[in-house]
Amino acid sequence: MTKRVAVITGGASGIGRETCLQFARKGDRVVVADFNEAAGRETVEMIEAEGGEAIFIQVDVSKQESVNALVDQAVQAYGRIDVMFNNAGIGGAGPVLSQNMDLYHRTIAVNQHGVAYGIMAAGNKMKELGIRGVIINTASVFGFLASPGTFAYHATKGAVIMMSKSAALELAPHGIRVVAVAPGAVDTPIIQGYKDAGMIDSMRQKVMGGELTKPETVAKSVYLVSLDEAEAINGSVVMVDQGYASFK
């Protein structure tokens, strides 16, 4: 059987790293893609230490030519692309009335444009190769729910949700699925600011079970969404939030 090839952005840390490990454990070949080369290569070493297959490709998802090159290089290396997980993201904190505009534009460039470039590059490549693949995009409960001080971040995650729906509609005739996943409060470096601000206890209370979600738990859900058996999951948002958006 041909092994699937999964390209995972943000693969150097947190949810992305755990998703790389999960796909590799299940026998897929993994392209670990990240801006952070040292940590990305560490993810590859972790996969290889477990007997899995992976390569690292450096990418800056905020640049379209870099994302196009990532997809091209992945196909040059492994001959195909079955899964594209557009997951790289940054926190982008800052209140609306005192918004640092550099941070605003950077947040939109990475979290929103980065996902758009990934959908375009992977969608076109899958179409060209006749592969009935799946594109999964990381949104957030913050694509639905407002929280003070993260204005730009909310904008990007709302955009990821709608980009996933509209791309799914256009890619369906090619047999390509597009799905958004929406994590809640996940214990990764991206929430360090909340930890520093002493807000972790209030975040814990929003998660069913009272503990932050583990990145490996999110990774397992992403893997399930990627399977052919999940073909009915298309053009929708899968909450991987342990109830964060379900109760108050």
Instruction: List interacting residues with ligand NAI (CB under 6 A).
Output: 9-10, 12-16, 34-36, 59-62, 87-90, 110, 138, 140, 183, 185-186, 188-191, 215
H or E element at residue 43: helix 37-49
Please answer whether residues 237 and 145 qualify as being in contact, where contact means their C-beta atoms are separated by less than 8 angstroms: no
How far is the first Cα of the chain from the last one, in angstroms, to the nearest whole number? 47
Torsion of CA 166, 171, 176, 177, to 10 degrees: 10
DSSP tag of 4: P
Q: Which residue among 78, 104, 117, 153 is the active-site one? A: 153
Strand partners, 83: 6, 134
Contact 212, 183 (CB under 8 A): no
Percentage helix, strand, coil for the chain under 3-state DSSP, each rounded to 5? 50, 15, 30
Taking the complex as a whole, the smallest distance from the CB of residue 93 to ligand NAI amounts, in Å, to 11
Return the number of the residue (93 or 131) whose C-beta is nearest ligand NAI: 93
Q: Which residues of 145-163 are buried (b: 16+ CB within 10 A; e: fewer)?
A: eeeeebbbbbbbbbbbbeb
Distances (CA, A) of 193 to 13, 124, 150, 204: 16, 37, 11, 15
State yes or no: is 194 an active-site residue: no
Structure letter (DSSP) for residue 149: T
Catalytic amino acids? 153
